[in-house]
Amino acid sequence: MLKQIMGSIALCIAIVVVQPLYAQQTENTLGSLWPEVEKNYPGVNAKTSAVDAAKLHERVVKGDMLPQIKAQVQNTYGTYEGSAGAFFPQPGFFNVSGTTTALGGSSTAANSFGSTTVEWELFSFGRLRKENEAARTLFDKTVSEKDAYLLNLKKILSDRYITLLYNDAKLHWTAKNAERLDSIRNITSSLSAAGLRPAADGLLALSSYVQAMGEHDKWYGLTRAAFVKLSELYGNDDIDYTSSSNRFHTLTQNLVKRQNNINLAHPILEALNKQSAYYTHRGEAEKRSALPSLRLLGGYAYRGTGIAPNGTVSGAWKDGFNNTTNNFLVGMGITWSVSGLHTSRLKGEKLFKDAESSKQLHTQYELAMQADLSASQAKIHQQYEQLGKTGFAVKQSQDAYNMYLARYKSGLIALSELLQIRTLLEQAENAHIEASRDYWMLLAYEAELTADFDFLFNNL
């Protein structure tokens, strides 16, 4: 007796402890799949790399505003004959300076040379600033494009998930149809064996059952195919959608206050805005590149040669580092590409036209998205009403079928009448599944237009 009392107390304690833990468990939803998709899907990683590349490009452009330092070191061995006269150096030629006076010693000499130059563009009429702004805008545009891609990926994930739930609902629907027909077939066989029904009724019931099984096989294949498509996004096959299958038929109304207007910060519109701004900055920078630029110049040069000041020439390689000279040069320079005035102006105008095209495209997208949002919200309201009516129709059809089945068992109606009632029930259930799929698809489309998937991710 004492053991039974202690066992009962332990069972009560276990129930008290386990019940809160069970209450804390959360059912899987569509939103529970998204973190894995965002973390592992290669397309997201590709967009992240593009953002990183744009950030590095911005740093490169900023680096152009700093002084540019170049260094050169060389060591050569060759002749030193000089000649008077002037020429324009062209690729493939090199100039040798020196006296034409005959020197004594070797006919060849070694040379060493090293130099460092500094060039700093101090003033360029704002060209560098505009290029920097363009690089920053390009980075922002890449970020907006990634956000737009993530939004579209959420829509693709939602569509594939809803398609899987739809096919799964169809699979269970065909299974129920086959189960009902199998029950009718068994009843008909019993009645035929008792001589209450003709043998033809048994054949008709069997034919209907076999057709239902064939339809079940079809939807099994479609469900597996939809699961594979969803797994491609998720990354593995560990997907539990049982709870979502139950919520798929639930009459869930979005009671959250809906946005009536398109948000101008929508990633697609924001990307078009940044694209227009990028073209504008690039056009301004291109036009200003035709103006002169003021540069600070500086340089230092070291030279050694195997030719001594007294005219003695040494052909030894080590003597090429003797007889050294050191020179430096500082100054200001103005660079102006006069011939590029017309070309730079045309390039700038072309970029301004591209910016105007992006603005017009932004306006077009905004108007189209606003119209789609209004139309979608009107459809959602009516679809919700239809879903309620189809659910009620299914319940009434099921009750009617059960009544007619009882009458058929009693021999009060023929098999053809029962099959006709079953067909009406099948049509009502199918209409309810179709209405559920359309309702959730409309919610997914509205979520894409408003860039807000919270309701869909939390309720499906």
- Token reading at 291: 């103006």
- Please, which pLDDT band fits residue 397 given cuts at 50, 70 and 90? very high
* CA 163 – CA 252 distance, rounded (Å): 18
- Whole-angstrom Cα distance, residue 33 to residue 11? 36
61 vs 328: CA distance, rounded Å: 29
Tens-digit pLDDT profile for residues 135-183: 899 999 999 999 999 999 999 999 999 999 999 999 999 999 999 988 8
As a whole number of angstroms, the distance between CA 181 and CA 103 comes to 116
Residue 349's SS3 state is helix
CA–CA separation, 205 vs 112, rounded Å? 103
Q: Residue 287's closest CA among 339, 343, 357?
A: 343
pLDDT of res. 91: 56
Residue 97's SS3 state is: coil
What percentage of the chain reaches a pLDDT higher than 90?
A: 32
Q: How far apart are CA 211 and CA 220, in angstroms?
A: 14
pLDDT of res. 70: 75
Q: Counting every residue, how long is the chain?
A: 460
Three-class SS of residue 256?
Answer: coil
Concatenate the DSSP letters of all residues of 412-445 into one string: SS-HHHHHHHHHHHHHHHHHHHHHHHHHHHHHHH
Which tokens is 244 given? 């979502």
- Cα–Cα nearest to 173, from 443, 434, 408: 434
- Give me the mean pLDDT over the 128-139 stretch: 86
HEC letters along 305-335: ECECCCCEECCCCHHHHCCCEEEEEEEEEEE
CB 319 within 8 A of CB 391: no
pLDDT tens digits, 349-368: 888 899 999 999 999 999 99
- The pLDDT tens digits for 86-110 are 545 555 555 555 555 656 777 788 8
What is the reported pLDDT for 192?
Answer: 72
Token couple for 129: 């600033």
Q: Which residues contact 106 (CB under 8 A, 6 or more apart)?
A: 306, 313, 314, 315
Token duo for residue 132: 């920097």
Q: Between these two residues, 375 and 314, which has the higher pLDDT value?
A: 375
Contact 301, 327 (CB under 8 A): yes
Percent of the chain, pLDDT > 70?
85
Residue whose tokens read 């539990």? 240
Q: Which amino acid is at 378?
A: A
More confident residue, 9 or 434: 434
The band of 13, judged by pLDDT with boundaries at 50, 70 and 90, is very low
Side by side, the strands of the sheet bearing 293-305 are: 68-79, 108-123, 293-305, 325-335
Rounded Cα distance between 234 and 238, Å, is 9
Q: What span, in angstroms and rounded, lies between the C-alpha atoms of 187 and 174?
A: 20
Reduced DSSP (H G I as helix, E B as strand, rest coil) percent helix, strand, coil of the chain, to 5: 65, 10, 20
306/103 Cα distance (integer angstroms): 12
List, in order, residues 6 or more apart from 230 with CB less than 8 Å away: 157, 160, 161, 164, 239
Position of tokens 């060759």? 78
CB atoms within 10 A of CB 229: 15
Segment 270-299 shows an average pLDDT of 85
Q: What is the pLDDT of residue 309?
A: 79
Phi first, then psi: give them for residue 306, nearest 5 degrees: -85, 5
Q: Are 58 and 138 in contact (CB under 8 A)?
A: yes
Distance CA 325, CA 212 (A): 100
> What's the Cα-to-Cα distance from 339 to each of 126, 196, 295, 412, rounded to whole Å?
20, 105, 20, 102
Lowest mean pLDDT among 14-18, 255-259, 441-445: 14-18
Calculate the CA 8 to chain-centre distance. Answer: 57
* CB-count exposure of residue 404 (10 Å: 0-12, 13-18, 19+): buried
In whole angstroms, give the CA distance from residue 415 to residue 409. 10
* Rounded Cα distance, 93 and 441, in Å: 72
